[in-house]
Amino acid sequence: MDIKRFGSNGRYSSAVVHNNIVYLCGQTCDEEIIDVKFQTQVVLKQIDELLKSHGSDKEHILSATIYLKNIKDYDAMNQIWDAWVVEGHEPARACVEAKLADESILVEISIIAAVR
Protein backbone atom coordinates (compact mmCIF):
# COMPACT_ATOMS: atom_id res chain seq x y z
CA MET A 1 0.00 0.00 0.00
CA ASP A 2 1.48 3.31 -1.08
CA ILE A 3 0.06 6.10 1.07
CA LYS A 4 1.80 9.48 1.04
CA ARG A 5 1.03 12.06 3.70
CA PHE A 6 1.89 15.76 3.37
CA GLY A 7 1.90 18.59 5.90
CA SER A 8 1.46 16.27 8.87
CA ASN A 9 1.51 17.93 12.26
CA GLY A 10 0.88 15.09 14.70
CA ARG A 11 -2.88 15.55 14.53
CA TYR A 12 -3.68 15.49 10.80
CA SER A 13 -2.17 15.75 7.34
CA SER A 14 -3.02 18.62 5.01
CA ALA A 15 -3.14 16.14 2.13
CA VAL A 16 -3.02 12.38 1.67
CA VAL A 17 -2.46 10.68 -1.68
CA HIS A 18 -3.45 7.04 -2.19
CA ASN A 19 -4.26 5.09 -5.37
CA ASN A 20 -4.09 8.29 -7.46
CA ILE A 21 -6.65 10.02 -5.24
CA VAL A 22 -5.85 13.25 -3.36
CA TYR A 23 -7.65 13.83 -0.05
CA LEU A 24 -7.41 17.40 1.22
CA CYS A 25 -8.15 18.28 4.81
CA GLY A 26 -10.75 20.97 5.42
CA GLN A 27 -9.51 24.30 4.08
CA THR A 28 -10.34 27.53 5.88
CA CYS A 29 -9.48 31.20 5.59
CA ASP A 30 -6.94 32.45 8.13
CA GLU A 31 -8.05 36.06 7.73
CA GLU A 32 -10.75 37.32 10.08
CA ILE A 33 -12.98 38.77 7.40
CA ILE A 34 -16.67 38.67 8.24
CA ASP A 35 -17.74 37.92 4.68
CA VAL A 36 -18.41 34.40 3.44
CA LYS A 37 -17.80 35.37 -0.19
CA PHE A 38 -14.26 36.57 0.54
CA GLN A 39 -13.51 33.54 2.72
CA THR A 40 -14.84 31.19 0.02
CA GLN A 41 -12.58 32.85 -2.59
CA VAL A 42 -9.54 32.43 -0.32
CA VAL A 43 -10.38 28.79 0.40
CA LEU A 44 -10.92 27.93 -3.28
CA LYS A 45 -7.57 29.54 -4.16
CA GLN A 46 -5.90 27.39 -1.48
CA ILE A 47 -7.62 24.32 -2.92
CA ASP A 48 -6.40 25.19 -6.43
CA GLU A 49 -2.83 25.50 -5.15
CA LEU A 50 -2.94 22.30 -3.09
CA LEU A 51 -4.46 20.27 -5.91
CA LYS A 52 -1.81 21.55 -8.33
CA SER A 53 0.99 20.66 -5.92
CA HIS A 54 -0.34 17.09 -5.71
CA GLY A 55 -0.89 16.52 -9.43
CA SER A 56 -4.56 17.38 -9.71
CA ASP A 57 -6.87 20.32 -10.44
CA LYS A 58 -10.48 21.40 -10.01
CA GLU A 59 -11.55 19.50 -13.14
CA HIS A 60 -10.60 16.29 -11.34
CA ILE A 61 -12.51 16.88 -8.10
CA LEU A 62 -14.66 13.88 -7.27
CA SER A 63 -16.29 15.08 -4.08
CA ALA A 64 -16.57 18.24 -1.99
CA THR A 65 -17.95 18.74 1.49
CA ILE A 66 -18.73 22.33 2.44
CA TYR A 67 -19.31 23.37 6.03
CA LEU A 68 -20.96 26.73 6.67
CA LYS A 69 -21.07 28.44 10.04
CA ASN A 70 -24.49 29.79 9.07
CA ILE A 71 -26.61 28.06 6.43
CA LYS A 72 -28.06 31.50 5.60
CA ASP A 73 -24.73 32.09 3.78
CA TYR A 74 -25.54 29.25 1.35
CA ASP A 75 -26.53 31.51 -1.57
CA ALA A 76 -23.58 33.89 -1.08
CA MET A 77 -21.11 30.99 -0.90
CA ASN A 78 -22.68 29.42 -4.00
CA GLN A 79 -22.16 32.62 -6.01
CA ILE A 80 -18.41 32.13 -5.59
CA TRP A 81 -18.51 28.33 -5.86
CA ASP A 82 -20.58 28.35 -9.06
CA ALA A 83 -18.18 30.78 -10.76
CA TRP A 84 -15.22 28.57 -9.75
CA VAL A 85 -16.52 25.12 -10.71
CA VAL A 86 -15.79 24.12 -14.30
CA GLU A 87 -18.96 23.32 -16.23
CA GLY A 88 -19.08 19.63 -17.04
CA HIS A 89 -16.74 18.84 -14.12
CA GLU A 90 -19.08 19.45 -11.18
CA PRO A 91 -18.19 17.17 -8.24
CA ALA A 92 -20.53 15.28 -5.97
CA ARG A 93 -21.14 17.72 -3.13
CA ALA A 94 -22.64 18.08 0.32
CA CYS A 95 -23.16 21.37 2.15
CA VAL A 96 -24.10 21.53 5.81
CA GLU A 97 -24.27 24.01 8.65
CA ALA A 98 -21.70 23.22 11.33
CA LYS A 99 -20.06 24.64 14.41
CA LEU A 100 -16.55 25.31 13.13
CA ALA A 101 -13.25 25.30 15.05
CA ASP A 102 -12.99 29.09 15.40
CA GLU A 103 -15.65 31.80 15.55
CA SER A 104 -14.03 33.71 12.67
CA ILE A 105 -14.32 30.77 10.26
CA LEU A 106 -17.42 31.09 8.08
CA VAL A 107 -16.71 28.32 5.56
CA GLU A 108 -14.60 25.16 5.45
CA ILE A 109 -14.24 22.97 2.36
CA SER A 110 -12.86 19.45 2.17
CA ILE A 111 -11.98 17.94 -1.24
CA ILE A 112 -11.33 14.51 -2.75
CA ALA A 113 -9.84 14.57 -6.25
CA ALA A 114 -8.28 12.23 -8.79
CA VAL A 115 -4.67 12.74 -9.81
CA ARG A 116 -4.39 13.89 -13.46
Query: What confidence tens digit (pLDDT) does each residue in 53-97 have?
Result: 999 999 999 999 999 999 999 999 999 999 999 999 999 999 999
In the chain, the domains with their CATH numbers are: 3-114 (3.30.1330.40)
DSSP sequence for 40-72: HHHHHHHHHHHHHHTT--GGGEEEEEEEES-GG
Query: What confidence tens digit (pLDDT) does each residue in 2-18 have?
Result: 999 999 999 999 999 99
Q: What is the mean pLDDT of the chain?
A: 96
Residue 6 burial (C-beta neighbours within 10 Å; 0-12, 13-18, 19+): middle
Chain-centroid distance of CA 98 in Å reads 15
CA dist., res. 100 & res. 20, Å (int) = 29
